[in-house]
Amino acid sequence: MANTSIVWKNQTKLRTGYTTGSCAAAAAKAATHMLVSGEVVGEVSLVTPAGIRLYLEVEDIVKENNYVSCAIRKDSGDDPDVTNGILVYAGVSFVSDDLEQDNREDWVEDETIRHVILEAGEGIGRVTQKGLEQSIGDPAINLVPRRMIREAVEEELQKAGIDRGVRVMIWVPDGAEIAKKTFNPKLGVEGGISILGTTGIVEPMSEKALTDTIFVEMKVRRENGMDYCYVVPGNYGSDFLHDTLGYQEDAAVKCSNYVGEVIDDAVRLQMKGILLVGHIGKFIKLAAGIMNTHSRQADGRMEILAAHAAMAGGSRELIRQLMECITTTAALELLEKEGILKEVMSTVMIKIEEHLKHRAGDGLEIGAVMFSKEMGILGKTSDADRLAQKIQSRKKKV
């Protein structure tokens, strides 16, 4: 069993896991060892890029003449990962002594690892759009996992004193079906999962893993001609784009709670403009400059609405009632009953625009549309309609 560790997040003790990249490298290492030694092993050790040594159980071993395959079961720890429990396979076989005569090699990043031909089989996605680490048509095995696989195989060959090349095939039997539940279709990876991981270790509820995915999603849009795009926190925003505004939700990047990070990503990628579309429950926080809208970071929803209601002439009793509201829906009903909803939303949107433009700087056009399910559009920043038109025109050209 793997010696996964414990981390603390939000006063909760959680167990770490290991990536699909670690699984692929460990499976390739175990298969290579069995190929060159002839012995069967039930466990393999692997040092991850993070410097953590894993001891992983080897499953489903097949030994034939000049070929060995086996699998490592993915363990995501306490991270809610759809790939948890899948088997990642590696099959290893000897090839001709002269690898230069074999033109089936997929990648050459390091000539010192000259013995390894790396290929991808069933359940590994293929890249279909620009903006990812691999070229269009290449298997979705990221740079660090590729190196981990090759170095693990080369290590076993050197230990055995063997100066021959091997072909390593990586596959995931359920990969195509699992991939439908991941970001892969939106990132331009089709037909299977990606083999991922920069440290080899999965940290539970890793914010960096999510923000990295958001960055890649926007990068794919940018490199495929979409220099303007929508940004939505999640499904509410996507549905509102399509059902109410009539915009194409496939021109949108989902940012979850990370509004500030997605603005930074847009600047870094030299996007020309983004239009944020979101529910008041999250976006009201932007009026106070709160750029991470998760409730554990900050709330302030009622304080913001109460302050703007006071500016609109709301009574002391109204302010008290607003501060006692649990939901923004209840607060909106109070403002509408008082007859100041429109004025409150107007000043709220002015503050949202001010904070968004401050975060974006001078090089990025930015705007926002805020809505509620019950009342529809509550407010827009001054550039919102113009940005929407630019996004739609870019979408038609792509």
193 and 172 in contact (C-beta within 8 Å)?
A: yes
By CB neighbour count within 10 A (0-12 exposed, 13-18 middle, 19+ buried), where does 24 fall?
Answer: buried
Strand partners, 44: 56
Give the residue with greater pLDDT, 292 vs 15: 292
Tokens of 40: 């069967």
Per-residue pLDDT, 285: 96
Per-residue pLDDT, 199: 87
Identify the CATH number of the domain defined by range 6-202: 3.30.2110.10
Please choose, from the candidates 262, 330, 326, the residue with its C-alpha nearest in 3D space to the C-alpha of residue 295. 326
Q: Which of 182-199 are b and which e, b meaning 16 or more Cβ less than 10 Å from the residue's Cβ?
A: bebebbbbebbbbbbbbb
DSSP secondary structure code for residue 338 in this structure: H
Integer Cα distance of 231 and 339 in angstroms: 31
Per-residue pLDDT, 207: 72
Give the residue with greater pLDDT, 60 vs 221: 60
CA atoms within 13 A on the CB side of 3: 11
> At 385, is the secondary structure helix, strand, or coil?
helix
Does the pLDDT of residue 12 top 60, yes or no?
no
> At 351, is the secondary structure helix, strand, or coil?
helix
Per-residue pLDDT, 6: 42
Please provide residue 357's backbone torsions phi and psi, each rounded to the nearest 5 degrees.
-70, -35
> At 298, is the secondary structure helix, strand, or coil?
coil
Per-residue pLDDT, 14: 60
Per-residue pLDDT, 110: 43
263 and 364 in contact (C-beta within 8 Å)?
A: yes
Per-residue pLDDT, 13: 54
Tokens of 131: 């903006």
Mean pLDDT for the chain overall: 87
DSSP secondary structure code for residue 243 in this structure: I
DSSP secondary structure code for residue 125 in this structure: -
Query: Model confidence at 209, in pLDDT bands (50, 70, 90)?
Result: confident
Tokens of 156: 């076993």
Does the pLDDT of residue 35 top 90, yes or no?
yes
* Domain edges within the chain: 6-202, 207-397
Per-residue pLDDT, 370: 97
Strand partners, 377: 371
Tens digits of residue pLDDT in 50-74: 899 999 999 999 999 899 999 999 9
> At 4, is the secondary structure helix, strand, or coil?
coil
> At 344, is the secondary structure helix, strand, or coil?
helix
Mean pLDDT is lowest, of 106-120, 135-149, 285-299, for 106-120
Beta strand spans in the chain (E): 6-9, 12-15, 17-18, 43-47, 53-57, 59-64, 67-73, 87-94, 116-120, 126-127, 166-171, 189-190, 201-202, 228-232, 252-254, 273-279, 365-372, 376-380
Q: What is the mean pLDDT of residues 344-372?
A: 97
Tens digits of residue pLDDT in 81-130: 788 999 999 999 998 655 444 444 444 344 445 678 999 999 999 998 87
Per-residue pLDDT, 9: 43
> At 64, is the secondary structure helix, strand, or coil?
strand
Query: Model confidence at 397, in pLDDT bands (50, 70, 90)?
Result: low
Tell me how crowded residue 96 is: count the other CB atoms within 10 A of its CB: 10
Tens digits of residue pLDDT in 307-317: 999 999 999 99
Tokens of 72: 């490592």
Query: Model confidence at 324, in pLDDT bands (50, 70, 90)?
Result: very high
Strand partners, 120: 170
Query: Model confidence at 80, in pLDDT bands (50, 70, 90)?
Result: low
Q: What is the mean pLDDT of residues 238-261?
A: 86
Query: Model confidence at 295, in pLDDT bands (50, 70, 90)?
Result: confident
Tell me how crowded residue 312 is: count the other CB atoms within 10 A of its CB: 19
